[in-house]
Amino acid sequence: MDYIIVGLGNPGKRYENTKHNMGFLALDLLAERNGIKINRLKHRALCGDGAVAGRKVILVKPQTYMNLSGESVRAVMEYYKAPPSALLVIYDDIDIPLGDIRIRKKGSAGSHNGMRSIVGNLGYDDFPRIRLGIGDGERARGDSLAGYVLGGFRKGQVSAIEDAISRAALAAECLLADGADAAMNRYNARAEKKGEKPAGGADAEKGEKSAGGADADTEKGGADEKR
């Protein structure tokens, strides 16, 4: 196995199209683009294996709720005896503007509970990650952190969310094909042009998937384990 790619989110229909499930949504699109089915339950996660950019991968969606994600990721890493460099995590970040993505080679978990759990369980943070921005100032108008991240997308946010998810999937393909530096140079600023081509020359439009398209917020939840 060359790479273990983890998308973070909360399981269940209640959270399907919420901001905190951007990692799940991006991983689903990556799977669709590369003909991988994420449908096997093991290591407390939904998993699927296949190839991305010519690399053998396993795609992982922890089913533990967000703040226990690290328990699932640690089980996968130990099972495959994978080094830190083989792990790629995709997740939402409220400190990044809505629609932007950021790739880093390593770094702290920040305020994200899922990443805190992963770093805490693994004991290291020197692995690459792709962060999808969900920040747009809405919290300043009264939402709690939990209420905001567990809420759905407003109509005016859908286009930016869909674009970010598409670019995150392309960035993952680029990272596997050409390395983290190339992916950072290409995707760390919002693209000015549409129709980008992924690594390997596949059509960028292939298999693009909606972020959910919800016009109004989904039901919000405030349980700590889901943040």
Residues marked active site are found at 20
Helices H, strands E: what count in the chain? 6, 7
Q: In this structure, what token pair is assigned to residue 68?
A: 């226990």
Encode 50-83: b = buried (16+ Cβ within 10 Å), e = exposed: eebbebebbbbbbbbbbbbbbbbbbbbbeeeebe
How many whole angstroms separate alpha carbon 144 and alpha carbon 88? 29
Q: In this structure, what token pair is assigned to residue 154?
A: 């407003």
Which residue type is seen at 5? I
Own/partner contacts of 80-83, CB < 8 Å, gap of 24 or more, are 80/1, 80/4, 82/1, 82/4
